[in-house]
Amino acid sequence: MEDLPPRKTLPRLDESLLTHLPPFSRLEKRQIRTILDQATSRRYLPGVAVFEEGHEAERFYMLLDGYVRVVRITPTGEQVTALHIPAGQLLGIAKAIGRDTYPATAMTATESIVISWPTRLWDTFVAEYDGFATETYKTLGHRVGEMNTRIVELATQQVEQRVANALLRLINQTGRKVEGGIEIDFPITRQDLSELTATTLHTVSRLLSGWEKRGLVESKRKRIKVCDPHALVVLSQG
């Protein structure tokens, strides 16, 4: 993997890759073939920008495999992780919110496979492909809902509650069962967690260390495992 370029164009993809994904699940095989024939597919190494905040939204994307962090840059130049997007979702859909530039940067959290199309095809997809628009706006609604939930948490909850809620969301969205608990299925650092919860790295480190001693979580090598989800639910409720 070390000798791969940051992004590598992939060969022709099979229709089966899209048939189970909500934006395309109502379509016939021939329609999906047409869609794929207009797409560019790439494999990205971890930590690579798929697109960047403020750049012209020339393409929109579907994450086929891997995880992506949605990152915003504050006026003072600080990087803040706003969301994590799992495989099977559209991203870079600036057109859906009436923008011609990307509102955030998408950074790969793991090695990822992404397909994309020119933004000029967006209106065609919406008009011609049953379910594309409905599922796209449903996804957008979920993301707005998650952001609103986080805003409420920032305004009303203590830090311990916010961190517990962030971990619960991540294991619900991306968790995989492992021995002794549920692990977040991509590398995540304590710094990432501090950005998600608008607190300091020191505070997150102190909380996780305390929870580890109590057997609630395990945290090492950019991996976080929740050993006692119920205990975190109790903490999240204050």
Give the tens place of pLDDT for each residue, 121-147: 999 999 999 889 998 999 899 888 888
pLDDT at 66 exceeding the cut of 80 = yes
Task: Give the pLDDT score at 5.
Answer: 59
Task: Give the pLDDT score at 63.
Answer: 96
Length of the chain: 238
DSSP string, 134-151: HHHHHHHHHHHHHHHHHH
For 198-212, the pLDDT digits (tens) are: 899 999 999 999 999
Task: Give the pLDDT score at 9.
Answer: 60
Task: Give the pLDDT score at 74.
Answer: 80
Task: Give the pLDDT score at 1.
Answer: 39
Residues 6+ apart with CB under 8 A from 88: 21, 22, 63, 64
Of 18, 51, 22, 50, which is closest to residue 35 (Cα–Cα)?
18
Task: Give the pLDDT score at 78.
Answer: 78
Evaluate whether 189 touches 222 at the Cβ level (below 8 Å): yes
Q: Is the pTM of this model over 0.95?
A: no
Which carries the bigger pLDDT value, residue 20 or residue 74? 20
- Count of CB atoms situated within 10 Å of the CB of 21: 17
Please tell me if the domain spanning 16-155 has the same topology as the one spanning 157-237: no
Could you tell me the fold of the domain covering 157-237?
A: Arc Repressor Mutant, subunit A (1.10.10)
Structure tokens at 2: 């070390």
Which carries the bigger pLDDT value, residue 158 or residue 74? 158
pLDDT at 6 exceeding the cut of 80 = no
Task: Give the pLDDT score at 4.
Answer: 46
Per the prediction, the chain carries an average pLDDT of 90
Superfamily (CATH) of domain 16-155: Jelly Rolls (2.60.120.10)
CA dist 42 → 11, 19, 20, 201, 225 (Å): 9, 19, 20, 34, 30
Evaluate whether 57 touches 106 at the Cβ level (below 8 Å): no
Domain definitions of the chain by residue range = 16-155, 157-237
pLDDT, average across residues 32-37: 93
No. of helices (H) and no. of strands (E), the chain: 7, 13
56 φ, ψ (degrees, to nearest 5): -60, 135
- Residue for token pair 């993997």: 1
- As a whole-number percent, the residues of the chain with pLDDT over 90 amount to 70
pLDDT, average across residues 88-114: 94
Burial class (CB in 10 A: 0-12, 13-18, 19+), 75: exposed
Question: Exposure string (b/e) for 46-63, b if CB count within 10 Å is 16 or more?
Answer: bebbbbeeeeebebbbbb
Task: Give the pLDDT score at 155.
Answer: 86
